[in-house]
């Protein structure tokens, strides 16, 4: 049994562990540009110095040895022959079963988007925010996010609230909050609604209490060097942080694989790619059926990867008792001082108000999660 897994992010690493568990004798090949994982959730702590870039990079060499995995350093360019061949810049790789976990990318179409920092792009972007804030003696910081109208789940709202509250608290800690105006902007009138019906009111209450100005419910037009432009007016800003909506990975654009309206790989509730035998997708790269509050989250990526691995091995073993993945939204929105726990399942939504312990719980979770890969 020759199984190939694409990527080394949350979904791919969970898929490796689960595949090895269910198919101890399988040959597992992993293809990704680097033998490294990047722990995105802690990017929010780079501007304050709570984390450095190197804290978030995990070298996977030992983990791959432990899991008896062959690592191929390369970038996938296409998947052909009904999924049985993966094309990279250096050659083609054959498989009996494939799990795609190459993540998504951000839609950088808005005019002037180059004037905004896209914080979730990685360590250099988060370090740029840190350096820009360090170099400012005052001014306006504008923070916002957009979506993908064709893929409602493809937005990164939670992390942007974390950057917002984190920067507010950082400036307070430094005793210079009064020199800054912070504006939160969003095309939705009630941002955060996907996290639960009570979430927008709670977040707005916190923002108002912290003196954060709101510019909500106006479609984005674009940016200039020091300007945020929306259909509801424009405002000036010295530093602009903006997270556009997400779409599928770049390599997918020319591929024969089925794509959703939003540009992600179309899969079913078992994480199987529509119409393709023994081809599965997990994480941000996929578009899955389910509730309208589904989110592009590491937690969801892990749940999808568990189902993808189990179902792929079952299929290769000739079984057909496939298991759908569980829909659950779970996150701690961190403010640098507190954490706000948000959980949503088919049964309902839970929101725990800001609490100091949850900030430490998020830090402890990072340590526990990464320990398995170090």
For binding to ligand FAD (CB under 6 A), which residues are involved? 6-12, 31-33, 40-41, 43-44, 75-76, 101-103, 120, 156, 158-159, 249, 251, 283-285, 296-299, 301, 331
Minimum distance of ligand FAD from residue 297's CB (angstroms): 4
Question: Nearest-CA neighbor of 332 among 365, 296, 294?
Answer: 365
Minimum distance of ligand FAD from residue 71's CB (angstroms): 11
Nearer to ligand FAD by C-beta: 144 or 230?
144
3-class SS of residue 15: helix
Is the Cβ–Cβ distance between 33 and 127 less than 8 Å? no
Nearer to ligand FAD by C-beta: 2 or 236?
2
Per residue in 280-306, is it b (16+ CB within 10 Å) or e — as a string? bbbbbbbbbeeeebbbbbbebbbbbbb
Nearer to ligand FAD by C-beta: 9 or 196?
9
Minimum distance of ligand FAD from residue 111's CB (angstroms): 24
Q: Provide the pairing of β-strand 227-230 with 233-236.
A: antiparallel
Minimum distance of ligand FAD from residue 159's CB (angstroms): 3
Token look-up 């300007």 returns: 227
Minimum distance of ligand FAD from residue 231's CB (angstroms): 27
Any idea what the Cα angle at residue 109 is, between residues 261 and 99, rounded to 5°? 45
Nearer to ligand FAD by C-beta: 40 or 63?
40
Minimum distance of ligand FAD from residue 303's CB (angstroms): 10
Minimum distance of ligand FAD from residue 340's CB (angstroms): 11
Give the separation between CA 65 and CA 331, rounded to whole angstroms.
31
Nearer to ligand FAD by C-beta: 51 or 218?
51
Minimum distance of ligand FAD from residue 233's CB (angstroms): 28
Is the Cβ–Cβ distance between 84 and 279 less than 8 Å? no
Token look-up 């990279």 returns: 88
Minimum distance of ligand FAD from residue 296's CB (angstroms): 5
Give the separation between CA 129 and CA 116, rounded to whole angstroms.
10
Nearer to ligand FAD by C-beta: 181 or 192?
192
Minimum distance of ligand FAD from residue 97's CB (angstroms): 17
CA distances from 239 to 4, 46, 224 (A): 42, 16, 11
Nearer to ligand FAD by C-beta: 233 or 353?
353
Structure token pair of residue 7: 């990527």
Nearer to ligand FAD by C-beta: 26 or 101?
101
Per residue in 20-56, is it b (16+ CB within 10 Å) or e — as a string? bebbeebebbbbbeebebbbbbbbbbbbbeebeeeeb
Cβ neighbors of 55 (< 8 A, separation 6 or more) are: 42
Structure token pair of residue 273: 């790619």
**Residue 346 CB burial class (10 angstroms; 0-12, 13-18, ≥19):** exposed
DSSP secondary structure code for residue 325 in this structure: P
Nearer to ligand FAD by C-beta: 146 or 218?
146
Could you report how far apart the first and last alpha carbons of the chain are, in Å? 27
Nearer to ligand FAD by C-beta: 31 or 336?
31
């Amino acid at each position: 049994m020759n199984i190939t897994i694409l990527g080394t992010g949350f979904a791919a690493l969970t898929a490796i562990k689960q595949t090895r568990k269910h198919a101890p004798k399988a040959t597992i090949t992993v293809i990704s540009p680097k033998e490294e994982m990047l722990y995105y959730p802690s990017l929010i702590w780079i501007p304050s110095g709570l984390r450095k870039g190197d804290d978030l990079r995990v070298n996977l060499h030992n983990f791959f040895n432990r899991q008896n995995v062959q690592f191929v350093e390369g970038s996938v360019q296409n998947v052909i022959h009904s999924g049985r061949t993966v094309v990279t810049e250096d050659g083609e790789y054959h498989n009996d079963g494939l799990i795609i976990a190459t993540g998504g990318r951000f839609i950088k179409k808005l005019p002037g988007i180059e004037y905004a920092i896209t914080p979730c792009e990685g360590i250099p972007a988060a370090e740029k925010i840190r350096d820009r804030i360090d170099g400012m003696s005052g001014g306006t910081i504008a923070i916002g996010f957009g979506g993908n109208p064709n893929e409602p789940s493809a937005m990164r709202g939670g992390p942007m609230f974390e950057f917002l509250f984190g920067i507010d608290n950082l400036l307070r800690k430094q005793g210079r909050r009064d020199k800054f105006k912070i504006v939160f902007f969003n095309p939705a009138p009630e941002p955060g609604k996907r996290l639960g019906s009570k979430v927008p009111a709670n977040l707005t209450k916190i923002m108002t209490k912290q003196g954060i100005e709101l510019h909500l419910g106006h479609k984005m037009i674009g940016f200039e060097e020091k300007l945020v432009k929306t259909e509801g007016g424009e405002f000036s800003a010295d530093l602009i942080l903006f997270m556009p909506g997400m779409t599928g990975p770049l390599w997918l654009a020319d591929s024969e694989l089925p794509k959703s309206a939003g540009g992600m790989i179309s899969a079913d509730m078992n994480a199987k790619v529509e119409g393709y035998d023994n081809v599965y997708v997990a994480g941000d790269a996929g578009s899955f059926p389910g509730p309208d509050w589904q989110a592009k989250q590491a937690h969801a990526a892990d749940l999808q990867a568990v189902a993808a691995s189990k179902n792929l091995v079952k299929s290769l073993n000739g079984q057909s008792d496939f298991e759908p993945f569980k829909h659950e939204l779970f996150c701690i929105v961190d403010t640098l001082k507190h954490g706000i726990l948000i959980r949503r399942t088919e049964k309902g939504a839970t929101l725990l108000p800001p609490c100091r312990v949850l900030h430490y719980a998020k830090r402890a979770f990072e340590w526990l999660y990464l320990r398995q890969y170090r």
